[in-house]
Amino acid sequence: MSKLYFVRHGESEWNVADKICGRTDIPLTKRGHEQAVETGKKIVAEGIKTDEILYSPLLRAADTAKHISEMTGIPAHMEPRLIEQNFGVWEGTSPRNAPEFLKAKKDFLNRYGNGESMFELAQRIYNLLDELKEQQDKTYILVAHNGIARVVQSYFKDMTNEEYAAFYRGIIDDLLEHPACTVEEVALAHCEREMGKEPNDQLRIALHKMIFIDLYVRNYWRGKAVRTLVNAGIPVHVVGKGWEELEDVRHPECLKLHPQTDSVTCLEMLADAKVSLNVMPWFKDGAHDRVFNSILNGAVCVTDPSCYLEEELHEGEGVCYVALQDMDALPEKVKDLLQNDSGRNEIVRRGRAIVEQKHTWAERAKTLAAWIAEDAAQ
């Protein structure tokens, strides 16, 4: 084996639902299929040459590999040893990073009831890598799972049990403790401790893969915000998968579930709403289009702040800001907005004037075109 590339499968249905997914055979989402196709295109664009794709027999990895093979022309073959770890009694439970599950994973002899221990997993992956290593002139792409990726990494890099289990958890814990920080800030500090302070390709690749941490932390705060409002007896309409798993709500009748739908329907729902709830992604110098869409459709957006948002929209200009650290203040702020029609409408009016001038899709297109023209001129 002269070189090895590793590709994790695209987004699966249980990734979206935040469920623990090991040996259970769960398919890709539409987005997961698109991610796989884009990965194939990127392999072609970057001129990566390999002899063979080996993939896990589970559907989410097999379909990812087949898309890549179709885009690249690289032959693909199923390798049963690349199947994800069997998490036994934890399969299908939620959330994926439940503290009890993370604690159980630190015991490398734990079979999770009727599953597979970390030692058993490492044995089959190490055996496979030993065999591939003997093929000195061949280059491979492995298409498999997150758990397999960690074992592959440990084959090439010495890691203690604690390092293996806690690296990503440490980043997540830091972000939950310091919600004003960005993923980049926290992840960079952790990566530098692992890899040194000098920027390099390995560090850039590691940071690029932190998107799942952004999704986890964002969903954590979204869940906490919705739970806080529902527990205060405020009706909250939520759209998409996973919300039925929300636990510990004192007023479940206030949690109004709607199936996953398209963007146009979401905009129509915003037009029917008085208040929308937003939790910012962890790029703190930007904004989410949900903020602007809410204002344009007549709803006040209650959101945590970002540097960019606070520059563009002051408090009371279509938005009301609530710091994530001050979640207890959220119910009263929302109640005040719902009960004060004239005040709420005035907030929307002030915000809409700004958004219509600067933050429609048409205005964004003009700004981008101007930047492109300026860049071309230089």
Tokens of 143: 């298409």
**In what helix (H) or strand (E) does residue 109 lie, and over which residues does it extend?**
none
DSSP string, 34-52: HHHHHHHHHHHHTT---SE
For residue 123, the number of C-alpha atoms closer than 13 Å in the C-beta half-sphere is 7
| Coarse DSSP helix, strand, coil percentages of the chain, rounded to the nearest 5 percent | 55, 10, 35
| Catalytic residue flag (residue 84) | yes
- Pairing, β 319-321 against β 300-303: parallel
Q: Is there a contact between 351 and 295 (Cβ–Cβ < 8 Å)?
A: yes
End-to-end CA distance of the chain: 45
Task: Give me the torsion for CA of 145, 149, 150, 153, rounded to 10°.
Answer: 170
Contacts of residue 367, Cβ cutoff 8 Å, sequence gap at least 6: none
Residue in 9, 67, 288, 359 annotated catalytic = 9
Tokens of 189: 């500090």
| Catalytic residue flag (residue 9) | yes
**Residues 279, 283, 288, 292, CA torsion sign:** positive
Residue 139 DSSP SS3:
strand
Residue in 11, 67, 79, 84 annotated catalytic = 84
Q: Which phi and psi angles does 320 have, rounded to 5°?
A: -130, 125
Q: Quick one: three-class SS letters along 347-374?
A: HHHHHHHHHHHHCCHHHHHHHHHHHHHH
Residues with catalytic function: 9, 84
